[in-house]
Amino acid sequence: MQTLETQFEEGIARYKDGTDAAELLPTFKEICQQAPKNSAAQTCLAWLYLLADKPNAAFKVAQRAVKLAPRDPQARVNLAIAMLETGKSGVREQVDQVGQVLFAVDELKAEIQENFEEGLRRRPDWKSLKRIQAWLFEGQTN
């Protein structure tokens, strides 16, 4: 029987190999059910829901991820995108919080930028992602 850590690592490896987000959802849902306080798994699940165009599910999971790891910029990026896609208010506040962390830690900035690029490779016309990316990296507010 696989440990949750092994399952998580294999899921990440499959994602990096290009496995479709919808195909990975059951794996990450199971990990999150078994380890509900694992913020990394919650953050991954929210991202997969966003990639699979399931913003309502992504919103709920992203909220949990942010609650578990309030300083994780990717958790907040996911929440901001889900909020945009579900018409919720407070997006700007999330983006501002991400910005504060990103500009303090260069490695995180590069990691988040890579995640944006990956998201756009998988969903090239992802308007919400492009909007959050512009807010964070180009200083645009529209």
Domain ranges of the chain: 4-137
C-alpha distances in Å from residue 105, one per residue of 56, 70, 73, 92: 30, 15, 10, 20
Q: What share of the chain is helix, strand, coil (3-state, %, to 5)?
A: 75, 0, 25
Tens digits of residue pLDDT in 2-43: 799 999 999 999 999 999 999 999 999 999 999 999 999 999
At residue 140 the predicted structure's pLDDT band, cuts being 50, 70 and 90, is very low
pLDDT band with cut points at 50, 70 and 90 for residue 138: confident
For residue 134, what are its two tokens? 């512009």
Dist. CA 11–CA 5, nearest whole Å? 10
Instruction: Answer yes or no: is pLDDT of 46 > 50.
Output: yes
> Other CB atoms closer than 10 Å to residue 136's CB: what's the count?
22
**What is d(CA 118, CA 116) in angstroms, rounded to the nearest whole number?**
5
| Integer Cα distance of 30 and 35 in angstroms | 8
The string of pLDDT tens digits covering residues 58-98 is 999 999 999 999 999 999 999 999 999 999 999 999 999 99
Longest dimension (CA), the chain: 49
> Is CATH 2.120.10.10 the right assignment for the domain spanning 4-137?
no
pLDDT score of 107 more than 90: no
The conformation of residue 126, written as its DSSP 8-state character, comes to: -
What predicted TM-score, i.e. pTM, was given to this entire model?
Answer: 0.92
Cα–Cα–Cα angle for 35, 2, 21, rounded to 5 degrees: 65
CA 74 and chain centroid, separation: 5
